[in-house]
Amino acid sequence: MKLSRRTILRGAGALTLLAGRLGTSALAQTGPAGDISPILFVHGNGDHAALWMTTIWRMESNGVPRERVFAINFTDPLARTDDKVEQANRSSTEDARRELGEAIKALKQSTGAARVALVGNSRGGNAIRNTIKNGGSGDVSHAVLCGTPNHGVYAWDEGLGNEFNGRGPFLRGLNEGDSEVTAGTAFLTLRSDGLDKYAQADGRFAGKPGTPTNITTEGPALKGATNLVIGAVDHRETAYHPRAFREIYKFIAGREPSRIEIVSEAIVKLSGLVTGTPGGVQTNRPVSSASVDIYHVSDDTGERIGGTVHSSQTNADGRWGPAQVDPSWSLEIVLTSPGSVTTHFYRSPFPRSSDIVHLRAARQPLAADAGAGAVVLMSRPRGYFGLPRDVVLFDGKEPDDVKPGVPTDAVTTLRLPAAEIGRPVVGIFNQERIVARAWPASENRIAVAELTY
């Protein structure tokens, strides 16, 4: 079987192959890296394949052939409250194990490799461990678990059916024995030096402030694995930060990467998937009849430069694109999805091609939005806003809805009066800068400055 350069649906699962073009100059600078095991990246709870985009760009920039680098989209990425009790648009540990097993099989068949490497963030690591322990060890050469709550987010006697309870049957089954890893697969865990919100002694991040979780910052470590602390990174950054990339690459390739930076391509092609939130639950189920329109916009004002660069409408598979853009262009991507808010995504330039540019309509209006002329969000999918760790400025000031200390917030909201509709809004996160425009809330529109890094 040969994988096409589109999303491949196998039952309920989806395995996504990058469809970008790797420049020959990049390969010449880095040398071939086809000796590396094919890599399947596995996202976390409620997330999607696109979170691995910058990691995959870094792999490509080190000469790893795109035909050997994939990312999965779990159909229903959110875990059930109780693993054994059905819950609409949520998945069990067995659902995740089955979908991951299908993706591994497809990757092996497409590459001809006997074994593959798996890299997971958070809940993705649960699926990886479950798959390897229950018959999959012969298929997996390396397993990298990034911020995975291997001993739970908490360890309590109540709610034992929850997948993230360290005293529950799921995690106890994975952790039984003198070794907590499966023989025959090399395991690496990456964890934060104190800033992972799901490896904290206090239960406030699990909804019980002041109650001990019985978990420490060492919760992601496993007996029998190589366990590394990679610094003051947050829960998602344990997977998506450049520091994490270095360790992921080194562990799988057996050598240091030749570069950490992302090498730009001359021509960038973008495509991806439109998904929805049935019943208010984030899923990776495709949305049909959604329109995607892309504009080149000014770096300084967010104003459109010329007409549409790309327009397409999704079919039953939810796919949009491909769109060809310049790697120096800032973009506005307008998603008009049935029954949802029209969402204007503002993005800093894409240096490389990707076919996992995931689009999901922004949230529905909140009570707090009532009376606002415009609502603008700044979103960081691959990490959280850490104060005072990071420089975070939204419309010229530090947001007051981002809590200091352990990073927990990935979205900040700005509400503007009607008189300010149409004006530019600048979002700055460390060295990334995006300029969005304020759209009328009365037209059921919302703007999102979506950070890439």
User: What is the signed CA dihedral for 49, 55, 57, 60, rounded to 10 degrees?
Assistant: -110
Q: What is the mean pLDDT of residues 293-311?
A: 98
Higher-pLDDT residue of 148, 22 = 148
Same domain? For 128 and 246 the reply is yes
CA-wise closest residue to 136 among 164, 108, 177, 159: 108
1 found inside a domain: no
| pLDDT tens track for 69-105 | 999 999 999 999 999 999 999 999 999 999 999 999 9
Q: Which of 340, 361, 382 is the last residue of a domain?
A: 361
Q: What is the reported pLDDT for 26? A: 35
Q: What is the CATH number of the domain that holds 201?
A: 3.40.50.1820
Pair (189, 71) in one structural domain: yes
Beta strands at 116-121 and 69-73: parallel, antiparallel or unpaired: unpaired
User: pLDDT at position 15, please?
Assistant: 53
Strand ordering across the sheet containing 319-325: 319-325, 268-275, 359-360
Quote the pTM value.
Answer: 0.93
Measured at the CA of 413, the angle between CA 340 and CA 201, to 5 degrees, comes to 105
Task: Clarify whether residues 344 and 371 are in a common domain.
Answer: no
Q: Beta strand pairing status for 116-121 and 39-42?
A: parallel
- The answer to whether position 378 is within a domain reads yes
Residue 3 domain-assigned? Answer: no
Residue 290 falls within a domain, yes or no? yes
What six digits make up the tokens of 101? 């097993």
**In this structure, what CATH number is given to the domain that contains residue 348?**
2.60.40.2190
What is the band of 33 on the pLDDT scale with cuts at 50, 70, 90?
low
Domain membership of residue 129 (yes or no) is yes
Q: Is residue 90 in a domain?
A: yes
Q: How many angstroms separate the CA atoms of 168 and 165, rounded?
A: 5
Q: Is the predicted pLDDT of residue 108 greater than 90, yes or no? A: yes
**Residues 72 and 14 sit within 8 Å (Cβ to Cβ):** yes
Same structural domain, 70 and 205: yes
DSSP one-letter code for 438: P
- Structural domain includes residue 453: no
The answer to whether residue 25 scores a pLDDT higher than 70 is no
Number of folded domains in the chain?
3
* 72 and 132 part of one domain: yes
Owning domain of residue 416: 365-441
| The pair of three-digit structure tokens given for residue 110, joined into one six-digit string | 């497409």
- Considering the domain architecture, whether residues 86 and 113 belong to the same structural domain is answered as yes
Tens digits of per-residue pLDDT, 230-266?
999 999 999 999 999 999 999 999 999 999 999 999 9
Claim to verify: residue 219 and residue 290 sit in the same structural domain: no
**Section 318-341 average pLDDT:** 97
Q: Among the three residues 253, 285, 301, which one is the final residue of a domain in this structure?
A: 253
Q: Round to whole Å and give the CA distance between 59 and 245.
A: 8
Q: Is residue 393 part of a domain?
A: yes
Same domain, 335 and 375: no
pLDDT digits (tens, 9 = 90+) for 438-453: 999 999 999 999 999 9
Same domain, 88 and 172: yes
The pLDDT of residue 396 is above 60:
yes
Same domain (yes/no): 347, 391: no
Instruction: Identify whether residues 190 and 108 lie together within a single domain.
Output: yes
Same domain, 56 and 95: yes
- Whether residue 400 contacts residue 447, with contact meaning beta carbons closer than 8 Å, is answered with no
| Domain end position, chosen among 253, 282, 305 | 253
pLDDT at position 35? 82
Q: Which helix (H) or strand (E) holds 120?
A: strand 116-121
In 3D, which of 15, 55, 65 has the Cα closest to residue 35? Answer: 65
> Tokens for 125?
């690591």
Question: Once rounded to an integer, what is the mean pLDDT over residues 296-317?
Answer: 98
